Amino acid sequence: MTVVTRNSKETQIRIAITVGSGVARVSTGAPFLDHMLVAFARYAGVDLDVQATGDLAHHLIEDVAIALGQAVAAFVPADCARYGDRTIPMDDALVQVVIDIGGRPYYRGPLPSSFYDHFFRSFADNARVTLHVRVLRGRDKHHVIEAAVKALGLALRDAMHATGSVFSTKGSIALTVAAE
C-alpha cells in the first residue's frame, strides 16, 4: 500500500492506493470529483481511499490530482508493461487516452473543463507519466470527462501490468532524492 498525505493552508488530503479489485472509499465534499475517483479506481483495478477537504474547488481538484499522481508514481512496479492505450465511448462522447509510465512527465489534452484539464495535467506531472488525451467526439462535458477518466484507468491498468522484466532499453532507472 502507498499512502500520500498533502496538507496546506488550502487543502488537507490523504490518499491510500493498493493493488485490488477497484474498491474506492472517497470523500472530498465535491460529488463529481468523488464520482470520478470511484470510476478511476474501478477501471484502474486499484483500491483507493481518498479523504480530502479544501477551500476552493480549483485547489481541491488540483491537489487531489497532485497527491494521486504522487501515489501512482510510488506504486508503479519496475517491471511494468509501461504503455497503455484505451478508447472509451460514453453516450455522445468518445475519448482516447494513451499513457507511458516511463518517468517522463508530459500532458497533452485538452478536456472541455479547465478544472479537469488541470486535473489530468497535475496528475501526469506528479505521476511522472506521458499522457495524451484525445476527445474524438462529445458535447456533454460530464460524458467527455467521465470517458477520459475511465480510459485513463484502463490505460493505467494495462501499463502497470507486471511483465517479469524491465521493459526499457535503458533498463531500470533509479532516482534518489536526499535532503541536505
Average pLDDT value for the chain: 93
> Domain of 98?
2-160
Query: Number of folded domains in the chain?
Result: 1
Report residue 76's pLDDT band, with 50, 70 and 90 as the boundaries: confident
Please say whether the dihedral angle defined by the alpha carbons of residues 37, 21, 154 and 175, taken in this order, is positive or negative: positive
Residue with cell 467521465: 146
φ, ψ for residue 96, nearest 5 deg: -110, 135
Phi, then psi, of 101 in degrees rounded to 5? -95, 40
Q: At 43, which helix (H) or strand (E)?
A: helix 31-44
* Residue 156 maps to a domain: yes
pLDDT tens digits for range 161-172: 977 666 565 665
We report the CATH number of the domain holding residue 15 as 3.30.230.40
- Give yes or no for residue 80 having a pLDDT over 60: yes
Question: What percentage of residues in the chain have a pLDDT greater than 70?
Answer: 91
Position 171 scores a pLDDT of 60
pLDDT of residue 79: 85
Q: Scan for cell 501512482, then name that residue.
A: 72
Residue 140 domain-assigned (yes or no)? yes
Domain membership flag for residue 75: yes
pLDDT tens digits for range 18-58? 999 999 999 999 999 999 999 999 999 999 999 999 999 99
56, part of any domain:
yes
Higher pLDDT among residues 97 and 162, named by residue: 97
Question: Is residue 171 assigned to a domain?
Answer: no
- Read off the pLDDT of each residue in 151-174 and give the average, rounded to a whole number: 78
Query: Would residue 22 count as lying in a domain?
Result: yes
* Per-residue confidence band for 68, with pLDDT thresholds at 50, 70 and 90: very high
For residues 140 and 111, is the Cβ–Cβ distance under 8 A? no
A 10 A CB-CB count for 3 gives 13
Q: Which string of b and e fits 36-52 if b means at least 16 CB within 10 Å?
A: bbbbbbbbbbbbbbbeb
Mean pLDDT of 130-147: 98
